Structure 1
Amino acid sequence: MDVVTFAKVPVDERFAFWREMSAKMWMPLDAHCEPGTESAFQAQVALNGLGPVQATVLTAPSLTIRRTPRLIRRSDPETLFVTCTVRGHAIGEQADRQAELRVGDLMLRDSSHPYLTRFGSTDPAGGQVLSLQFPRSSLPLPERGLRELSALRIRGDRGIGALASQYLLQLVRRLGEFSPDEAMRVSTLTLDVLTAALAGALDANSAVPPGSRRRALLAQIHAFVQANLGDAQLTPAAIAAAHHISVSYLHQLFRDEEHTVAGWIRERRLERCRRDLAEPWLAARTITAIAARWGFTNLQHFSQAFRGAYGLSPRQYRQQCAAVRLPAVREDRSDPPARPVDLAIEWSRPSPD
């Protein structure tokens, strides 16, 4: 994944440079910031291709982006966008509709029709949105239904919208971690999740192929589990209830994936504990506290499971990491790890990847 910054662009030229480069990154767009703030404009763009899905995480203090009929006539990739608000708030307009988005809310837009998007935040770090761009043919939903969803707020705090939102917010954190093969699989999962969320908003689940529906549900369950690993009450019954399915169907989904529900949860928890034990900045935290953070309430059971998975006790593993000064990845970072790129210097050069 590349991160585009403006560190070496002269301050008074940054916004004009941003407007020029945004057209190259996506399509012709008309961008504006708050009057009088051009000289202090700061933005960061993280880009990652997930197969047919282009994922972009845009961070800026405030920004208004318009796609006008004139710009559409100039160039149209004929793609769809789904936007998820990560931090701050956003407003979207298309097809005579307006949606006000809070953190976690989703919105669909179509590049072939005029639209407006405005976002920002009172947070000094600025507002942040995830945008997923993909061909229309990627979604097995009727064209008329997609038009009805343009600039419609899909709430991220209830129903299937909440499950899709959890998945996308997790995706933002991990965009820089995928190998090329993993990126293709994540692309399929992401499109399945979006298909299910949009179909749910249309109340047209019958339009979603069964295979896509199943994969989307499993991806949402995975995201739900990842977000709730620290809850000691994260049981198959709780997971099934949160997704409005039976416990037997939940077990069937995991059998098809060659995992048990409990086994998959345990693996994820052990991995989080392993990372924490390797962290120098957590050296003062007790092993008991680390285990409890990730849902292990019985220290003896945790130690046995850890040794079974990694061949060392938690204490031995921590000592080994300290001895070799093993680098570790902080689990609490809110921004995805990425390779910074200075736009003014790097834009025209081919990627070393």
Structure 2
Amino acid sequence: MIVDGGTLMMETVTFQTEDFPAADRFAIWCERMTQLMGPMEMASEHAPDFQARARVLQLGALQVWPMALQPMRFRRTVRLLRESASERYHISLVLSGALDVRQDGRHAVHGRHDLSVVDLSRPFDCRLIGGGHLAMIGVEIPKVLLPLPEQRVERLLARRLPGKGGIGALLVGVITRLCGETDGYRPADGPRLGGVLIDLLSALLAHTLDAENVLPSETHRRTRALRIRAFIQRHLHDPGLTVSTIAAEHHISVSYLHRLFETEGVTVAAWIREQRLGRVRRDLADPALATTPIHEVANRWGFADPATFSRTFRSVYGISPKDYRRRHTQGGRSSSDHRELLSQGTASARSAR
């Protein structure tokens, strides 16, 4: 087990079977899964030399753990529940392979970007199927944190919840980005990010149950704000993206849109600018795009006027786009210098809002 992170990044725990002798790997993996999810019967035809890796992120009361592993079976029986019951839900997001889930007489096979809900206080039988290493992300959430009656949630157990459109796609995007960018988060970000996942999961379950009316108004507000942010990110390339077009697309007033972003501590225009600058900054640092003219990179992300873009970039990051590209792609600064420069620029941008 490896503990990653320090005072400046979110703490995660990494566990990989390759750290142990082949004959012991499956037993050690089973022990680790028992610690995460409670007692289970586990089996795999790959047990003699089991290959698996997982990271555990603590987000307040939630745990999120991406993992890659060989096919296996997890099963909780009535007998095991008598030993230890857990008042939590386990949400699985399939990234590759398939997950066969059986609970409460329901059965479904989940494929890529499907989500499933399992009640850890009831018997279940789950099989990871496919070839090679399968990739999944698990989310553990206490039942009391979901603002939905348990009797309603139980109607969704083992049901395939698609994650390729609507709220499901938004939830999948947040989970996958979170698991891929942990270095950018601080320990204090954990509870806030956990709250984001709870809001999105609650919205997805309520939508599937046609029970949005039972959600708190604050959950509706935060979910709408997340949807709008995702819309903006998909349309950053469009120079016609304005407050008015965003409001019209989401059937809300301009004033209400401004209020949504005010509660997030940022104006709509400032957030759009920050996202666009971030995409430009990324492309300017990409050696594969080193021959692409800077004005084309800027235009690709919605900056139609080169002079305005150049002034904006310099005001935020304290350096011209040309100098930033040269220093980043030609080794003029170390990576730590760049991180310091960009953190200063981001702080400057926020203070100017």
Please state which band the TM-score falls in when normalised by the shorter chain: 0.7 to 0.9
- The letter for the 2-side match of 1:188 is G
Say if 1:180 and 1:326 are closer, same or farther in 2 by CA, change over 3 A.
Answer: closer
Any runs of at least 4 consecutive aligned residues in structure 1 with deviations exceeding 6 A, and if so which? none
What does 1:5-16 align with in structure 2 at a 5 Å threshold? 5-16=16-27
Q: Is the 8 A contact 1:230 1:293 kept in 2?
A: yes
Instruction: State the TM-score, normalizing by the size of structure 2.
Output: 0.81
Identity fraction in percent: 36
TM-fit CA distance, 1:51: 0.2
Q: Which runs of 5+ in 2 are unaligned?
A: 1-11, 340-353
Structure-1 separation of matches of 2:129 and 2:237: 31
Q: Which runs of 5+ in 1 are unaligned?
A: 330-353
Q: Is the 8 A contact 1:60 1:120 kept in 2?
A: no
User: Could you say which residue in structure 2 is the equivalent of 1:272?
Assistant: 279
User: Could you say which residue in structure 1 is the equivalent of 2:55?
Assistant: 46
Instruction: State the TM-score, normalizing by the size of structure 1.
Output: 0.81
- The letter for the 2-side match of 1:138 is L
Residue of structure 1 aligned with 2:178, choices 166, 171, 174: 171
Q: Which has the higher contact order (CA 8 A, sep 6+)?
A: 1
Say if 1:217 and 1:315 are closer, same or farther in 2 by CA, change over 3 A.
Answer: same
- Classify the secondary structure of the residue corresponding to 1:49: strand
What does 1:123-142 align with in structure 2 at a 5 Å threshold? 126-142=133-149
Q: Is the 8 A contact 1:23 1:29 kept in 2?
A: yes
TM-fit CA distance, 1:98: 1.6
TM-fit CA distance, 1:43: 0.7
User: Could you say which residue in structure 1 is the equivalent of 2:40?
Assistant: 29
Q: Report Cα offsets for 1:209-247 as digits up to 9, x if no partner.
A: 001121122234334544664566765567557756566
Aligned-residue CA RMSD in angstroms?
2.8
> Does 1:117 find its partner at 2:114?
no
Q: Is the 8 A contact 1:232 1:296 kept in 2?
A: yes
User: Could you say which residue in structure 2 is the equivalent of 1:56?
Assistant: 65
- The letter for the 2-side match of 1:145 is R
> Does 1:76 find its partner at 2:51?
no
What does 1:242-321 align with in structure 2 at a 5 Å threshold? 249-278=256-285, 283=290, 286-288=293-295, 290-291=297-298, 294-321=301-328
Q: Is the 8 A contact 2:18 2:25 kept in 1?
A: no
Structure-2 separation of matches of 1:19 and 1:130: 17
> Does 1:91 find its partner at 2:91?
no
- The letter for the 2-side match of 1:140 is P
Q: Report Cα offsets for 1:173-224 as digits up to 9, x if no partner.
A: 2344321221111111111111111111111011100011211222343345
User: Could you say which residue in structure 2 is the equivalent of 1:332?
Assistant: none
- The letter for the 2-side match of 1:200 is H
- Classify the secondary structure of the residue corresponding to 1:323: coil
- The letter for the 1-side match of 2:64 is A
- The letter for the 2-side match of 1:143 is E
User: Could you say which residue in structure 2 is the equivalent of 1:181?
Assistant: 188
Say if 1:121 and 1:301 are closer, same or farther in 2 by CA, change over 3 A.
Answer: farther
Structure-2 separation of matches of 1:72 and 1:228: 49
Structure-1 separation of matches of 2:293 and 2:214: 51
TM-fit CA distance, 1:299: 3.7
Structure-1 separation of matches of 2:92 and 2:248: 28
- The letter for the 2-side match of 1:155 is P
TM-fit CA distance, 1:281: 6.8
Residue of structure 2 aligned with 1:104, choices 108, 113, 126: 113
- Classify the secondary structure of the residue corresponding to 1:87: coil
Q: Is the 8 A contact 1:6 1:43 kept in 2?
A: yes
Q: Is the 8 A contact 1:303 1:314 kept in 2?
A: yes
